[in-house]
């Protein structure tokens, strides 16, 4: 017997950010940088920093509770928990299992995915498949990060870019033809060397030497990542619209990964899309990797920028190197 494919949409959103703010001016006393350099090269003015006692799962749980309330679902309704993160609490158990325990979700499967900044889009696409095939009814997808814990605060090339936060979505079946119209995922693993956190895994287990030489921190070739990003953001947007049988003229709103204002502006220019249709909040939060898109989507909704029936594109790129996009016909 064949399965009926269901339409799947986001029926609730929530986000959570640590309270502590680190401004560009604060950074001026930590590394050799300036507010002017950071703002003009990236668009970032400040970012949120989690305290020593806060782990990724704490931010994820807080965001999840808000998304559940927004969707009107309880812990008993959740069939699957997917956490996208590059900064898990630990290697195992997964952050998703820790969140499951925090939320008191008894009957669900739970797992993490590692697609860095693209993780939330990977999570949405995977969650959608479980619901559309009938294997789950309610899926909780979270993007959560504490990147400031893996930043080298002596490296001005990277530490000015990142921030902490979490965003969560509840996925459920929606009316046919609404919700996620198409999604596209991709990776170019041969470019992985441009953005790494080299130590702490099986290739380079933790030793005093790996700690001393800063190998547990983010290492990035910013120029190469930038080149990849400005190419893939418009391409991924065009391709996902085409997959949905739409054109760029049908886009009502874009929520891009919030890494760098110049990357977003370059993509908008190539797509010939006005800035009023593109959401940016990276000035307040920096790059929160997998949390950037869900936090931005939650804020755009709160500000009333997305209406029922809008075609909303989510598009991102990240370590891997990975990329992903999806178009959602907003159903609430
Ligand atoms: N303050 C002052 N000067 C700085 C700083 C800083 N914070 N950082 C770098 N510089 C200097 C550099 O040392 C360099 O000096 P030099 O010419 O004397 O060597 C100069 O500024 C220019 O450096 P560039 O690398 O050319 O600067 P660029 O304009 O390319 O901007 C940036 C750098 C912002 C990192 C950009 O390349 C970028 O955004 N890349 C993409 C990064 C990204 O999006 N990563 C996302 C993935 S994260 C994830 O997946 C976890």
pLDDT of residue 238: 97
CA pair distance 278, 296, nearest whole angstrom = 11
Please confirm, yes or no, whether 117 is among the known catalytic residues: yes
Cβ atoms of 127 and 139 within 8 Å: the answer is yes
53 and 154 housed in the same domain: yes
Q: What is the tens place of the pLDDT at every residue in 244-286? A: 999 999 999 999 999 999 999 999 999 999 999 999 999 999 9
Tell me the CA–centroid distance for residue 137 and ligand 1, in Å: 43
Q: Where does a domain end: 177, 207, 229?
A: 177
pLDDT value of position 2 = 52
> Does the CB atom of residue 322 touch ligand 1 within 6 A?
no
Burial of 109 (0-12, 13-18, 19+ CB in 10 A): middle
Same domain for 241 and 314: yes
Beta carbons of 18 and 50 less than 8 angstroms apart: yes
Same domain, 169 and 184: no
Does ligand 1 have an atom closer than 6 angstroms to the CB of 116? yes
Structural tokens at position 133: 């095939």
CA dist 282 and 307 (Å) reads: 22
| 200/165 same-domain check | no
62 Cβ below 6 A of ligand 1: no
Q: How many domains does the chain have?
A: 2
Domain coverage including residue 110: 8-177
> What pLDDT, on the 0 to 100 scale, is given for residue 111?
98
φ, ψ for residue 183, nearest 5 deg: -140, 155
Minimal-distance CA residue to ligand 1 atom 33: 222
Which one is catalytic: 16, 97, 159, 257? 257
Q: Does the Cβ of 260 fall within 6 Å of ligand 1?
A: yes
* Domain endpoint, select from 126, 145, 177: 177
Q: Which residues of the chain have pLDDT under 50?
A: 1
287 catalytic per annotation: yes
CATH number, domain containing residue 58: 3.40.47.10
Boundary (domain end) residue, out of 177, 212, 241: 177
Claim to verify: residue 164 and residue 189 sit in the same structural domain: no
Q: Does residue 1 fall inside a structural domain?
A: no
Residue 226: CB within 6 Å of ligand 1? Answer: yes
């Amino acid at each position: 017997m064949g399965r009926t494919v269901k339409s799947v949409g986001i029926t609730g959103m929530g986000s959570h950010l640590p309270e502590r703010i680190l401004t560009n001016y604060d950074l001026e006393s930590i590394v050799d940088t300036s507010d002017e350099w950071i703002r003009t090269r990236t668009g970032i003015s400040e970012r949120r920093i989690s305290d020593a006692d806060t782990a990724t799962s704490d931010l994820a749980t807080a965001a999840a509770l808000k998304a559940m309330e927004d969707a009107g679902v309880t812990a008993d309704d959740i069939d699957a928990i997917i956490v996208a993160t590059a900064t898990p609490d630990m290697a195992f158990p997964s952050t998703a299992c820790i969140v499951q325990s925090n939320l008191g979700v008894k009957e669900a499967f739970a797992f993490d995915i590692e697609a860095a900044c693209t993780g939330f889009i990977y999570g949405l696409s995977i969650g959608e498949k479980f619901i559309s095939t009938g294997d789950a009814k309610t899926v909780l997808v979270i993007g959560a990060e504490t990147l400031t814990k893996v930043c080298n605060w002596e490296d001005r090339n990277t530490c000015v870019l990142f921030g902490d936060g979490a965003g969560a979505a509840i996925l459920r079946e929606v009316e046919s033809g609404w919700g996620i119209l198409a999604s596209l995922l991709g990776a170019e693993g041969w470019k992985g060397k441009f953005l790494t956190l080299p130590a702490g895994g099986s290739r380079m287990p933790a030793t005093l030497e790996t700690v001393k030489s800063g190998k547990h921190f983010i290492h990035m070739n910013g120029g190469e990542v930038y080149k990849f990003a400005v190419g893939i953001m418009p391409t991924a947007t065009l391709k996902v619209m085409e997959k949905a049988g739409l054109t760029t003229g049908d886009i009502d709103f874009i929520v891009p990964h919030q890494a760098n204002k110049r990357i977003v502006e370059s993509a908008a220019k190539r797509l010939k899309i006005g800035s009023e249709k593109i959401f940016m909040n990276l000035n307040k939060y920096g790059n929160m990797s997998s949390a950037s898109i869900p936090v931005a989507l939650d804020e755009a909704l709160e500000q009333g920028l997305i209406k029922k029936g809008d075609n909303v594109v989510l598009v991102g790129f990240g370590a891997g190197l990975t990329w992903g996009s999806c178009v959602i016909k907003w159903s609430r």
